[in-house]
Structure 1
Amino acid sequence: MTRRAVITGTGSALPERRVSNAELAEQVDTSDEWIVERTGIRFRHIAGPDETTATLAAAACRAALASAGVAATDIDLIVLATATPDQTFPAAATKVQAMLGIDDCVAFDVAAVCSGFLYALSAAESMIRAGSADRALVIGSETFSRILDWEDRGTCVLFGDGAGAIVIEAQDGAENGDRGVLATRLHADGRHNDLLYVDGGPSTTGTVGKLRMKGREVFRHAVVNLAAVMGEALEAAGEEASAVDWVVPHQANARILDATAKKLGLDPAKVIVTVDQHANTSAASVPLALDVAVRDGRIKPGDLIVLEAMGGGFTWGASVVRM
């Protein structure tokens, strides 16, 4: 048996409050034109007092389970990617587990910031391929609004809150047309900590801290790293860029999406873009965008897709998946 981890369901959840650029311009020195020109962002969702990383994640999971036609009690693994957990510990994944009514399964968090979903998918897929799990929920969920400096117009306009989730199940690739995760490549380079980080933490300041970023330097690294890792993942999967039906990228900045597609020679029309509606939701952005494109019919069973992301650290990665 060629054991594959196949995506059988997708789901997402967004906070009720939707904030436009014009509304932000009433709070900080910015404008809709300034934000759109530099980032492509027009809206973002901001979590209310009763909305947390775990509650958003649980809502996304319920949608993914319904999409897959799977009961929560059939799940034996939950991997949740987040940089904004509800608590320092326990893992937000265990809170989601309880909210879904699952008495016992493996549940843990992954912290790789915007690349977190790719890291989480790799961990879950490896466990399924090894036979230590059969059916998993892989989640990206964030409430970045809680760690933003709302007086820093260079960062507060870029981020939003939300969650995305997928169900992956063990199937025989030889029997299902080689569907599933075909290859993943991950990287990290901690020398770049000071380009994108949060200036706090339990072991240093004893506080949550606020997000800090040097945007121009991050942009430069992102375009080079993402194009390279997508090429690596495609080579590992034995596929050419021309065979790709859709790219589902981390939704950080419209200019990064365009530049990365051009560097790989990909048609920009094949790139799923949701950054204009959701802004940068960090680890949630890839599964959120995937769910949008599955539900609106663009991504169909059998399509070859590439998921990619880069985040603070730096961490970055890409995964090639046959839907």
Structure 2
Amino acid sequence: MNLQLSTPPRPAGSRVAGLGHYQPPTVVTNDDLVARGVHTSDEWIQTRVGIAERRFATDETMLDMAVAAASKALANSGISPTEIDLVILATCTGKQQVPGGAAELASRLGIPSPGAYDLNAACAGFVYGLNAASNAVLAGHAHTVLVVGSEKLTDYVDLMERGTGIIFADGAGAAVVTASDRAGIGPVVWGSDGDSAGAITTDPATATLRQEGQSVFRWATSTMGDVALRACAAAGLEPSQLAGFIPHQANLRIIDLIAKKLNAPNVVVARDIITSGNTSSASIPIALSKMLERGEITSGAPVLVVGFGAGLTYAAQVILAP
């Protein structure tokens, strides 16, 4: 028997139709951390990681922030929640192992019966989710996908520990991905280094996040520049043709060193870490959404997104701004 199964019609391309972000209202400065008893200083933090302030969620959950960011992305896209047929939630800070949060997120947004799943690639999660959404659209298995990166890292960080408590923060960002008559999301360049997985972990007894800061710094600065260049090449662009570069907001020194390797001085570089801290999978969509709101990047312009973090995992691709 030689059966041929039917396959759904496939569009020519996929694109990001809208972005949105949400950050909690509580601003915590470096001096605020010192006042809480953290053994550090504003100068020490800004010199080493470039952060001046960050946002902490108090009464809000990871899902609350996801709903807020997703609602904004849907509004900016002009697409109704009823048109969404797949929801992908990138997070590493869900409150429980089961169930995941994507189905509840969809329900709270009024999205009827979509495919829904959580994705955990830590700080690279949003780019992994963006690629998964694009692939679902290109394969004809979904027409319109909601991708959300949302993190409440303050649930997992020892805020009194200088190595992590000064860095991590809370927030959410979202994108709506839909079918298009041209390619608006380029090929992904991704990979992992499982031999170094111990560089960023959570304590099995307390679930407290720990990281080997210097090891992660060396890995990111020696690896991500090449990944960024490969993503540009995969999209058929020179770095100088980019309008924006939005890397994961891990450390200002890492951002600047990767940007230097791109050798594209006229490209606008996201440095949202200065006022937002490190929000893991939420950092890229938050930074890009803000840049669009401020008019730093125009609709249709090519931007490079590069995520990297625990695993160790990374993913990069060029997209056209909505």
Whether the TM-score (by the shorter chain) exceeds 0.5 is: yes
What does residue 192 of structure 1 align with? 196
Q: For the Cα contact (< 8 Å) 1:258–1:268, is it kept in 2?
A: no
Change (3 A) 1:321 1:157: same
Normalising by structure 2, what TM-score?
0.94
> Partner letter of residue 185 of structure 1?
V
> Partner letter of residue 126 of structure 1?
N
State the distance in 1 between where 2:191 and 2:311 align. 10
State the distance in 2 between where 1:166 and 1:188 align. 24
> Partner letter of residue 122 of structure 1?
N
Q: For the Cα contact (< 8 Å) 2:240–2:267, is it kept in 1?
A: no
What does residue 274 of structure 2 align with? 276
Residue 224 of structure 1: which of 222, 238, 249 is its match? 222
1:168-247 aligned within 5 A: 168-173=177-182, 178=183, 180-200=184-204, 205=205, 209-247=207-245
> Partner letter of residue 320 of structure 1?
V
1:1-323 aligned within 5 A: 3-27=12-36, 28-49=38-59, 51-173=60-182, 178=183, 180-200=184-204, 205=205, 209-267=207-265, 270-323=268-321
State the distance in 1 between where 2:177 and 2:255 align. 26
> Partner letter of residue 40 of structure 2?
T
Q: For the Cα contact (< 8 Å) 2:242–2:267, is it kept in 1?
A: no
State the distance in 2 between where 1:68 and 1:258 align. 31
Number of residue pairs aligned between Structure 1 and Structure 2: 311
State the distance in 2 between where 1:225 and 1:147 align. 27
State the distance in 2 between where 1:285 and 1:3 align. 29
Q: Deviations over 1:38-66 (max 9, x none)?
A: 111011111113x1111100100100011
1:264 CA displacement: 2.1
> Partner letter of residue 211 of structure 1?
L
State the distance in 2 between where 1:103 and 1:262 align. 45
SS of the residue 2:72 aligns to: helix
Which is worse superposed, 223-232 or 110-119?
A: 223-232
Q: Deviations over 1:16-55 (max 9, x none)?
A: 2111111001121111111111111011111113x11111
Which is worse superposed, 58-67 or 92-101?
A: 92-101
1:257 CA displacement: 0.6
> Partner letter of residue 255 of structure 1?
R
**Structure 2, unaligned stretches of length 5 or more?**
1-9
**Structure 1, unaligned stretches of length 5 or more?**
none
1:2 CA displacement: 5.5
SS of the residue 1:165 aligns to: strand
State the distance in 1 between where 2:11 and 2:186 align. 11
State the distance in 1 between where 2:102 and 2:310 align. 21
Post-superposition, which runs of at least 4 consecutive aligned residues in structure 1 deviate over 3 A? none
State the distance in 2 between where 1:241 and 1:7 align. 20
SS of the residue 2:185 aligns to: strand
State the distance in 2 between where 1:228 and 1:53 align. 33
1:196 CA displacement: 1.2
State, as a whole percentage, how many aligned pairs show the same letter.
Answer: 39
SS of the residue 2:99 aligns to: coil
State the distance in 2 between where 1:285 and 1:268 align. 22
